Amino acid sequence: MGQKKPAKILLVDDEPNILVPIEFLMLQQGYEVRKAFSGQEALDTLSEFKPDVVVLDVMMPGMDGFEVARKIRKLSALRNTRILFLTAKGAEEDRMKGYSTGGEVYMTKPFDNDQLVQVISEVLEFG
């Protein structure tokens, strides 16, 4: 595992205080982490960073998480990038919308630290 190039994770949320614990957990797993505070900022980072997993909030000012996911899916360079929605919106329809826009995993806030770590490692491992 040590030989492998570390996985790259992009965290997107307009609430900095939410990204702080997630960043800590990801860094603890040895992933390479980038943070974005808005949808636009995430898109700006994407083409250059090419993350393996995007942890994406839905409700953000400006461009929301679903829109960001749709745009990611249009970029062929990012076809291997997995999207994980992490949102306060827990309704079933939001969940379905999340999957239809190209998300692999849909998790609601507040999340369990271990579960989040587990899910991300599984996504990285099984694609």
Partner 1 sequence: MNPLYIILALIGYVGLLFLIAFYADQRATRGASLVRNPLIYALSLAVYCTVWTFYGSVGRAAEAGVGFLPIYLGPALFAPLWWIVLRKIILISKNQRITSVVDFLSSRYGKSTWLGVLGTVVVVVGIIPYISIQLKAIAFSFQHLTHSGRVPGPVVEDLPFFLDPGLYVAVALALFSILFGTRNLDPNERHEGLVAAIAFESIFKLVAFLTVGIFVTFGLYKGFGDLFQQAWKLEEIHSLLDLKQVGITSMDWFWLMLLSLFAVLLLPRQFHLAVVENTSTDHIGRAAWIFPLYLFLINIFVLPIAFAGKMLIPPALAEPDMFMVDLPLMNGQGYLGLLAVLGGFSAGTGMVIVSTIGLSIMISNNVVVPLLLRTSTVREGWVDDLSKRLLGIRRLSIAIVLLVAYAYFKWIGRQYTLVSVGLISFAAVAQFAPAIFIGLYWKRATRIGAMVGLSLGFLIWFYTLLLPTLAEVHFMGVHIVENGPWGISWLRPDALFGLKGMNNITHAAFWSLLLNTGGVVLVSLYTSQRTLEISQADLFVEIYKYQTGVSDYDVIRRRASLQDVTLLLNRFLGEPRAGSLLQSYSRRYGKDLSKEKMADPDLINFAETHLAGAIGAASAKLIMRSIAKEDPISLEEMFRILEQTQEIIRYSRELEHKSAELVQTTHQLRQANERLKELDRLKADFITTVTHELRTPITSIKALSKILQENPGLPPEQRDEFLGILVSESERISRLINQVLDLEKTAVDRAEWKVEPVELNKLIQHSASGFRQYLEEKQIQLRLELPDAPVWVSGSEDPLTQVFVNLISNALKFCDAGKGIIRVGLEPGEDRVVAYVADNGIGIDPKDQQTIFGQFVQVSNNELGKPTGSGLGLYISKRIIERYGGRIWVESEPGRGATFFVALSPATPG
Query: In the bound complex, what is the minimum distance in angstroms from residue 16's beta carbon to partner 1?
Result: 5
75 or 109: whose CB is closer to partner 1? 109
Binding residues (CB under 8 A) for partner 1: these are 14-18, 20-22, 24-25, 28, 37-39, 59-64, 88-89, 109-111, 113
Between 15 and 122, CB nearer to partner 1: 15
Phi, psi of 57 (to 5 degrees): -80, 155
Q: Based on CB atoms, which residue is closest to partner 1, 7 or 22?
A: 22
Respond yes or no on whether the N-terminal peptide bond of residue 51 is cis (omega within 30° of 0).
Answer: no
User: What residues contact 30, with CB distance under 8 A and at least 6 apart?
Assistant: 6
**Residue whose CB is less far from partner 1, 38 or 81:** 38
Phi first, then psi, for residue 92 (nearest 5°) are -60, -40
Distance of CA 23 to the CA centre of its chain: 11
Smallest separation (angstroms) from partner 1 to the CB of 111: 7
Q: How far is the CB of 125 from partner 1 (least distance, A)?
A: 23
CB 127 → partner 1: shortest distance, Å? 26
* Token representation of residue 69: 């996911």
Instruction: Locate the DSSP E strands across 21-120.
Output: 32-36, 53-56, 82-87, 105-108
